[in-house]
Chain A
Amino acid sequence: MNIEDIKKPENIIYKKTPILTDTVMHYCPGCSHGTVHKLVAEVIEEMGIQQDVIGISPVGCSVFAYNYLKIDWQQAAHGRAPALATATKRLNPEKYVFTYQGDGDLASIGTAEIIHACSRGENIVVIFINNGIYGMTGGQMAPTTLLGMKTATTPYGRDAKLNGFPLVLAPMIAQLDGTAFITRQAVHTAPAARKAKAAIRKAFEYSQKGIGLSFVEIVATCNSGWKMSPVAANKWMVENMFPKYPLGDIKDVLKAE
């Protein structure tokens, strides 16, 4: 059987989900954002909830998420997405409401908003992209930047005495009674991406059970900010980010029962 015989419409087993727009993403080659966008879009398609989803995009590289998924979007001020999501969900409890936030947005300027949304047990989904750097503004230190990691504002490497320690948020919010599901995933390999997608789906499903906030952290790369090729960045992430931010479920209230 030659290649042209295989390439027939009836043999398609994977193609771009129609939830994604045809707009070429502005992200750098190899950026994890594109992969996570796709996984969220696929979950929305597979659950058949396009009419019932409201997304909230942050400030940061993914501010333009609203250009890429054909769902209704709100774009929040820096760090405030969980506040928008809180009101959106409480006023529209039948909708699936999610925020999509980076580490600067969620773990720095938006710490009050995320912690109190978790504490109140808002029935929302939070997708948290942790790549240890500010991408949009040009590669400055993020709260999650590793010690020793070079960024535009830590040109000699992050020094705990000068810059403090990396903020590890997921275990902190796992202690709050209002959170239902907290997991840390990655999308650098196909098995990792499949697990991340399953976690995102679970988070969306949990958000309609009235059991509290679901939080999916994606340990991600910023190859431009890290000044590496996409493949090298994935390798660096495995070797350096994963020891500080290990993958796996941190909390699942339904599993515990």
Chain B
Amino acid sequence: MAEKILMKGNEAIAISAIRNGADGYFGYPITPQSEVMETLMKEKPWETTGMVVLQAESETSSINMVYGGACTGKKVMTSSSSPGISLMCEGLSYLAGSELPCLIVNVMRGGPGLGTIQPSQSDYNQCVKGGGHGDYHSIVLAPASAQDMYDFVDWGFDLAFKWRTPVIILADGIIGQMMEKVELREMKPRRTKEELIAAAPWATTGKTPDRDYNFITSLALESDFQEAFNLKLKDKYQKIEQEEVKYSEYMTEDAEYLFVAFGCSSRICEATVDELRAQGIKVGLLRPITLFPFPTGRIAELSKQVKSMMSIELNMGQMVEDVRLACNGACPVGFYGRLGGNIYTPNEIEEAFKKFNNLK
């Protein structure tokens, strides 16, 4: 039986990076995710797997270190929290514009501005819709447990290299700080030089006589060139939407009402579903596991089955816009959220649900 260890979600990210063959981590301290780098520094992976860990002078620098490392075809990552992610958005845009694979973990806290260090889901728009300038998307994964934090590192790197795109793990302060049992999967070694060149023939690994020199840039001065590149990205994002959507469902088979919630909110909603079911109200839950690509198709199907939907988020209502677009008017879509680090209880959601649906 595989080893299970009690750890924080943030620690799971660090341990998973080491155990899944990450080549480098570059970060900057910010609450509530500092345990990621602290754990890496304590584990000293440079003495075991050879993984590089470096504390940068800013988030701006750490995302650009990720850019440099990604150019060389290495599996590189960073982690931060909301204000730090804002600083990284320049780099994110360049990473997307240069089609570079990398992993970025955002352990969200409340904003805008310096905001609160308490949990939040208010960076949905920032991470799912882009964040930086220009037409682009990152693949966005939404973990709901410490185990997800562990497992999504490997999955995220696989997606990043498969699609040559940045992948964001969009967690929140609850998932980052919560301690849970985590099963350590089988270790994966770091890639050899030969494996790296096979996986990333475009990388800047030094010009050998058998190939032309490689250069990585997001510069496209000519209009036709830029347009062709944008269309290429669009095509890629459409393929990602066809192939990579992931979600889970809870009691949706006979559901007459539906909650849509991601991350920690989905776990709270499960308890609400149980409570309402005990009262004889047929409620289900859809949890998007990928936020980009968004499970638009499945939500559209369910919108024809249920009387109404509610999006439950720790923000002022961001994902709800995508839920409404998916439903396209087929059923009413409500919203309930809490802000500033306040967390709803299952009962609070139940009350909001009954109010929205005029139920007693």
Contact = CB atoms under 8 A, between A and B. Distances in A.
B86 to A, nearest CB: 15
A70 B207 contact: yes
A75 B95 CA distance: 11
Given A51-B207, A74-B68, A77-B90, A112 B76 contact: no
Contacts of A86: 54, 56, 61, 65, 68
Interface in A57-77: 57, 63-64, 66, 70-77
Given A73-B216, A75-B216, A80-B60, A85 B205 contact: no
A116 B205 CA distance: 25
Interface stretch (A90-98, A188-196, A201-209, A246-254): A90-98
Contact of A56 (B54, B68, B205, B219): B68
A113 B69 contact: no
Nearest to A92: B72
B192 interface: no
Contacts of A116: 56-57, 61
A51 B209 CA distance: 8
B212 to A, nearest CB: 8
Interface string B169-183: 000000000000000
Contacts of A63: 217, 219
Contacts of B72: 54, 88, 91-92
B23 interface: yes
Contacts of B216: 73-75
A32 B64 CA distance: 28
B213 A76 contact: no
Interface string B43-76: 0000000001010111011101111110110101
A96 to B, nearest CB: 9
Given A80-B64, A116-B61, A70 B213 contact: yes
Contacts of B214: 72-73
Contacts of B56: 83, 86, 116
B150 interface: no
Interface in B272-305: none
Contacts of B76: 87, 91
A149 to B, nearest CB: 29
Chain B interface bracket (under 10, 10 to 19, 20 to 34, 35 or more): 35 or more
Nearest to B67: A84
Contacts of A74: 67-68, 71, 204, 215-217
Contact of A66 (B60, B91, B215): B215
B317 to A, nearest CB: 33
A64 B62 CA distance: 24
B91 to A, nearest CB: 7
B94 A77 contact: yes
A112 B91 CA distance: 15
Contact of A87 (B65, B205, B219): B65
Interface of A: 50-54, 56-57, 63-64, 66, 70-77, 80, 83-88, 90-92, 95, 112-113, 116
Interface of B: 23-24, 26, 52, 54, 56-58, 60-62, 64-69, 71-72, 74, 76, 90-91, 94, 98, 204-209, 212-219
Given A75-B216, A112-B61, 13 more contacts: A72-B207, A75-B218, A77-B64, A83-B62, A83-B64, A84-B71, A87-B65, A87-B76, A90-B24, A91-B74, A92-B72, A116-B56, A116-B61
Closest 6 CB pairs of A and B: A84-B68, A83-B64, A75-B217, A72-B204, A87-B65, A73-B215
27 contacts: A52-B206, A53-B207, A54-B72, A54-B206, A70-B213, A73-B204, A73-B215, A74-B68, A74-B204, A75-B215, A80-B60, A80-B61, A80-B64, A83-B60, A83-B62, A87-B52, A87-B54, A87-B65, A87-B68, A87-B69, A91-B52, A91-B72, A95-B206, A112-B58, A112-B60, A113-B57, A116-B56
